[in-house]
Amino acid sequence: MWGDGGGRVITARRLEKRFGDKRVLRGLDFELPRGATLLVTGANGSGKTTLLRLCAGLAAPTRGELEVRAQRRDIGYLGHEPLVYRELTALENLELYGRLYRVPERRERIGMLLERFGLWDARGERAGSFSRGMLQRLALCRALLHEPELLLLDEPFNALDSEGAALLDAELAELARERTLLVATHDPERLAPFATGTLALA
């Protein structure tokens, strides 16, 4: 699954991303070893989101090299948008992604995740009626649905209430042990217990 690269899931060399004339990432070099949990820190606009989008394959680098030794089915992405359809129920949303990601034992897995994140009772409600915190939890379910080996999380604690944050804390502890994580955050202290390294963007 990981191919060559000596167990490095992501390798970036002189990575640059420009939007029109504005350079958001300039000459970035880093490596993400398998099993590591790397925190990406930096002020707003420093390119944390851009970096995660590049690693997810949602954007292409302007210059430089970026190698992500993981297929789409092994990548879980949590961005600023929860990426759920507001007119579909929580269940239907996860069903759709479950089918697209060919999740084995789909129903059971969906049920388990919804319960774990406290959304089981709301499973038949339209996502449009969810609070921002519930949407974020549903987004987490979506990102974790297919048990991805590589997790790209963009400020995952955003919009979570204290209960949701506690659930995520527990989940992250386990994930950081078993998977490879790249987490953008402006609160690195919170994640320090799990992190194996930090990447600070100018």
Partner 1 sequence: MSGYAQDVVALARKDLTLELRARDTLPAMLLFVLSMLVVFHFVLPAGGSRLAANGLLWVAIVFTALLGLTRAFAAEREHGLLDGLVLAPCDRSAIWLGKSIAMLGFLVAAEVVALPAFALFFGAVDGTTVAAVALANLGICAVGTLIAAMASAGRARELLLPLLFLPLSIPIVIGGVGATVADDPGRYLAFLALYDALFAVLSWASFEYVVTE
Partner 2 sequence: MSTWSRNSALSASALLLLVGGIALAFYWAPEDADQGFSQKIFYIHVPVALTAYAFFAWGAWKALRHLWTRGERYDLESYTAIHMGVIFGLLTLATGSIWAKISWGIWWSWGQRQLVLFLILFLFYCAYFMLRFSTDVGPARANLSAVYAVFGIVLLPVSFLAIRLAEGFLHPVLFERDGPQMTGEMFVAFCVCLAGVLALAAALYANELTGKRIDARLRELREALA
Which residue lies nearer to partner 1 by CB, 96 or 165? 96
> Is residue 107 involved in binding partner 1 (CB under 8 A)?
no
Is the Cβ–Cβ distance between 75 and 146 less than 8 Å?
Answer: no
Q: Which residues, including other chains, have CB under 8 Å from residue 126's CB and lie 6 or more apart?
A: 86, 87, 88, 89
Residues 171-200 that bind partner 2 (CB under 8 A): none
Where is 65: in which H helix or E strand?
A: strand 63-68
Phi (first) and psi of residue 145, to 5 degrees: -50, -45
Strands of 8-19's sheet, edge to edge? 22-33, 8-19, 63-68
> Is residue 21 involved in binding partner 2 (CB under 8 A)?
yes
Minimal distance, residue 6 CB to partner 1, in Å: 25
One of 2, 5, 7, 23 touching partner 2 (CB under 8 A):
23
Q: Which residues, including other chains, have CB under 8 Å from residue 177's CB and lie 6 or more apart?
A: none
Which residue lies nearer to partner 1 by CB, 88 or 195? 88
Minimal distance, residue 87 CB to partner 1, in Å: 4
Residues 55-114 that bind partner 2 (CB under 8 A): 59-60, 62
One of 34, 137, 142, 179 touching partner 1 (CB under 8 A):
142
Is the Cβ–Cβ distance between 15 and 21 less than 8 Å?
Answer: no
One of 22, 102, 121, 162 touching partner 1 (CB under 8 A):
102
d(CA 10, CA 29) in angstroms, rounded, equals 11
> Is residue 58 involved in binding partner 1 (CB under 8 A)?
yes
> Is residue 88 involved in binding partner 1 (CB under 8 A)?
yes
The two tokens of residue 71 are 């297929």
Residues that bind partner 1 (CB under 8 A): 56-60, 71-73, 75, 77, 79, 81-88, 92, 96-97, 99-102, 126, 142
Residues that bind partner 2 (CB under 8 A): 18-23, 59-60, 62
